[in-house]
Amino acid sequence: MAKVNSQGRSKNTDSFVALPRYLIKSVAYIALTPTAKALYTQFLYKFTGNNNGEIFMSVRMAAKLIPCSNNTAHKALLDLVDKGFIKAKQKGSFSYKQRHATEWIITLHNYSGNKATKEFMKWQPKEKNTVLKNDKSVLKFNTNLTKPDIKSS
């Protein structure tokens, strides 16, 4: 049995990260890469309830947290931004006299007195038309050639 304080609450100070069901069921969350999902969990872990907009994360920091390469971490950050889970408040740079990481806003939570925008709920995948509906060409492979012959009917 867990130890409790005088008010009957657990003395365990471990925090947790909550992922609402509507977020998990959202089209944007389903479309995230596994790396981006892991990184988003780290963003939510850094959120303390009153520091939205003051969450610092660079590509290198992200790569160490997940762990992955810098390139993979960069792609995961871009994926989270593209789908509306996070947005940059102030971009970091090496050109400043003191290096600093980008400050991020988590759109799931309220920020600076404004309600949460939850931009990820509005995200829809872009349509990919790989085959034209009226295209009647047939792709036939000739075993004697290295390239396929395309013939229209």
Q: What is the pLDDT of residue 9?
A: 74
Q: What is the pLDDT of residue 130?
A: 58
3-state secondary structure the chain: CCCECCCCCECCCCCCCCCCHHHHHCHHHHHCCHHHHHHHHHHHHHCCCCCCCCEEECHHHHHHHCCCCHHHHHHHHHHHHHCCCEEEEECCECCCCCCECEEEEECCCCECCECCCCHHHHCCCCCCCCCCCCCCEEEECCCCCCCCEEEEC
The mean per-residue pLDDT over the stretch 117-123 comes to 97
**Selection from 33, 41, 40 nearest residue 15 by Cα:** 41
DSSP classification of residue 44: H
Confidence of residue 5 (pLDDT cuts 50, 70, 90): confident
Helix segments in the chain, DSSP class H: 21-25, 27-31, 34-46, 59-65, 70-82
The mean per-residue pLDDT over the stretch 120-144 comes to 67
Q: pTM for the whole thing?
A: 0.74
Q: Each residue of 59-117: pLDDT tens digit?
A: 999 999 999 999 999 999 999 999 999 999 988 876 655 668 899 999 999 999 999 99
As its CATH architecture, domain 21-126 has: Orthogonal Bundle (1.10)
Both structure tokens of 86: 């996070």
| pLDDT reading at 146 higher than 80 | no
Q: Each residue of 8-49: pLDDT tens digit?
A: 777 666 778 999 999 999 999 999 999 999 999 999 999 999
CB-based burial of residue 39 (10 Å sphere; 0-12 exposed, 13-18 middle, 19+ buried)? Answer: buried
Tally the residues of the chain: 153
Q: What is the pLDDT of residue 66?
A: 95
Cα–Cα dist 37/26, whole Å: 13
